[in-house]
Amino acid sequence: MKKSLLLPFVLYSSLFCSQDMEELKELFLQQQHTIEELKQRVDRLENGQSGTAYEDHHEQKIEGESTHGKPGPLEIALVANMSVLARNIGNESYANYTIPGFIESAGEIPFNPYRGFNLNYAEIEFESRMLPDMELYSSLHVEKEGLHIGELFVQSGFLGYGSSIKAGRFRSGFSRQNELHQHGWSFTSPPLVYESFFGYGALAEDGVQLQLRRGAEVFTLVGIEALQGENERSFGSRDRNNLYVTYLRDNFHISDSAYLLLGATWMHGRSGEGGTDIYAAEARVDWKLSGEASFEWENEVLFRDRGSEERGGMYTQLLYNVGEWGAGVRYDRLIENGANLPEDLDRYSAMVVYKPLSFTRFRLQYTYDRSKFFNSERMDVSEILFDLTIEAGGHEGHSGHNH
């Protein structure tokens, strides 16, 4: 009797144990799959393929959801910039300044043109992921004079291997300074050499861009761009695309808490004076100090060759940030001015900034500018400016940050 009762118990126990073994085996295989997936992600990061869109798409496929033909949500952000300005030069005179050998006429001054109060602009940014490896981005500037397109492009990494293709209207990626929108600048104006060579809007053109990036935090970036070449300060021949830009930027550790970035650029296009070449080099040190403190030292020099005309300029700036506060100084200088031109066209800037929120900034800046002429007479410009930049809406976006 006892043996007959024991037999069913043994059979039931064996069946139960075999089911446990199957479950354990299935769990082990799932863990192996997860480990392999993590290894693949690490490999993509090491090869410069951040793969956020790819990973999202891949995860959704694992969960049984198809993303084919389903664009992502349209994200919208609104940025506003305004200021109060005191300057020792009247509005009418300042609107007609010149810089001998560099700027024949100031033209439109989009930021802080008037003494007193300035509502500079509202910028509306749109961003949407159309496909897992393609996104659409646009920034529209709304000003008192009207509306214009700052950027509008499609970007895709469908080729893989750390590549990115961009087409439309965009800011050239030859340097971080050129890529940033005004509300992302550390100071309220672009470097003096940028103002002289490209204007306040920096080098933003219609065209195509191919970038190859290897690595994430420490990276190497190669870029090639074919642009229309409509920038009036340095190019301006619009019959066909005539501007080509190539650049190399390399970033590497110099210590456990510091990075060094080096970059070199060559641009070739045409202007009314014939062929135009611009050569640029940049160097930047980013140093993470203890706690929330960080230090940044950025330098850039540009040289323009238009046959018999040779011009150049440089800037160096130091920035210090700790928590919600920051401070910085910048020195600008125009060089290679040629015969019978002033040799000390320079500008000094100092600022203090308070950032209570991620996209809200109060900035107080003083500028002493010795580069400008008014009615053929050189006059030193002193200005004190307090400005507010605020952003509403939710996307990480391109403007004001590295792409």
The rounded distance, in Å, linking the Cα atoms of 318 and 320 is: 7
The rounded distance, in Å, linking the Cα atoms of 336 and 375 is: 23
Question: What are the pLDDT digits (tens) for 256-273?
Answer: 899 999 999 999 998 777
Question: What are the pLDDT digits (tens) for 317-365?
Answer: 999 999 999 999 999 999 876 667 777 899 999 999 999 987 899 999 9
Q: Mean pLDDT, to the nearest integer, of 220-225?
A: 96
Written as six digits, the tokens of 296 are: 């940044």
The rounded distance, in Å, linking the Cα atoms of 373 and 227 is: 32
In 3-state terms, what secondary structure has residue 20? helix
Bridge partners for 225 per DSSP? 209, 245
* Sign of torsion over alpha carbons 267, 271, 276, 281: negative
Look-up of token digits 């403007």: 399
The rounded distance, in Å, linking the Cα atoms of 229 and 207 is: 9
How big is the chain, counted in residues? 403
Distances (CA, A) of 178 to 34, 119, 314: 41, 23, 14
Written as six digits, the tokens of 6 are: 């024991």
Cα dihedral angle (365, 321, 361, 371), rounded to 10 degrees?
Answer: 30
> Looking at residue 346, what is its pLDDT?
95
Q: 82: closest CA among 174, 194, 183, 196?
A: 183
| pLDDT higher than 80, residue 28 | no
E-state strands within 69-192: 75-87, 116-131, 134-143, 146-156, 163-171
Question: In terms of pLDDT, which residue wins out, 22 or 294?
Answer: 294
Exposed, middle or buried, 29 (CB in 10 Å: 0-12/13-18/19+)? Answer: exposed
Look-up of token digits 């073994």: 21
> Looking at residue 315, what is its pLDDT?
97
CB 340 within 8 A of CB 332: no
Distances (CA, A) of 91 to 58, 71, 95, 188: 57, 48, 6, 18
CB 370 within 8 A of CB 58: no
Cα dihedral angle (205, 206, 212, 216), rounded to 10 degrees?
Answer: 60
The rounded distance, in Å, linking the Cα atoms of 117 and 86 is: 9
| pLDDT higher than 90, residue 129 | no
| pLDDT higher than 70, residue 30 | no
The rounded distance, in Å, linking the Cα atoms of 388 and 112 is: 12
> Looking at residue 400, what is its pLDDT?
54
| pLDDT higher than 60, residue 29 | no
Question: What are the pLDDT digits (tens) for 273-303?
Answer: 778 999 999 999 999 998 889 999 999 999 9
CB 131 within 8 A of CB 155: no
Written as six digits, the tokens of 45 are: 């990061």
Among 34-43, 83-92, 243-252, which stretch is predicted with the lowest mean pLDDT? 34-43
Distances (CA, A) of 403 to 224, 275, 276: 16, 30, 28
Q: Mean pLDDT, to the nearest integer, of 116-131?
A: 92
> Looking at residue 159, what is its pLDDT?
85
- Structural domains of the chain sorted by starting position, each given as residue range(s) with its CATH number in brackets: 75-393 (2.40.160.10)
Task: State the chain's mean pLDDT as an integer.
Answer: 82
Question: In terms of pLDDT, which residue wins out, 13 or 363?
Answer: 363
The rounded distance, in Å, linking the Cα atoms of 276 and 236 is: 10
pTM of this structure: 0.79
The rounded distance, in Å, linking the Cα atoms of 81 and 201 is: 15
Look-up of token digits 């011009």: 311
In 3-state terms, what secondary structure has residue 58? helix
Question: In terms of pLDDT, which residue wins out, 279 or 60?
Answer: 279
The rounded distance, in Å, linking the Cα atoms of 210 and 229 is: 17
Hey, what amino acid is at 318? L
